[in-house]
Amino acid sequence: MNIFVFIILILVAAMAGFAGGVFFQQRQVKKMLIENPPMNEDAIRMMMSNMGRKPSEVQVQQTLRQIRGAAKAQANSKKKK
């Protein structure tokens, strides 16, 4: 009887560790994406150039700020729920 309790405790601990690890990893990835978004200045310049316009540095920085602001707003709205 004791061996079955021991096995069940090991399985419960393994599942709890897995769930905790997934939760922690997901939180770290979201934090990393907010701090370092995948869009950088070069990607924005290329995107604007492909649309047929030559972007100024002010436009590039403004677009980058908007992207980062939207990402932070989305993260904060999810955090409040």
Clarify whether residues 28 and 47 are in a common domain: no
Can you give the chain as a three-state secondary structure string? CHHHHHHHHHHHHHHHHHHHHHHHHHHHHHHHHHHCCCCCHHHHHHHHHHCCCCCCHHHHHHHHHHHHHHHHHHHHHHHHC
Clarify whether residues 77 and 43 are in a common domain: yes
Clarify whether residues 1 and 18 are in a common domain: yes
**Which domain, by its residues, includes 18?**
1-36
Clarify whether residues 63 and 31 are in a common domain: no
Number of domains in the chain: 2
pLDDT surpasses 80 at 59: yes
pLDDT surpasses 80 at 15: yes
Clarify whether residues 20 and 44 are in a common domain: no
Clarify whether residues 48 and 74 are in a common domain: yes
Q: What is the pLDDT of residue 36?
A: 76
- Average pLDDT over all residues of the chain: 87
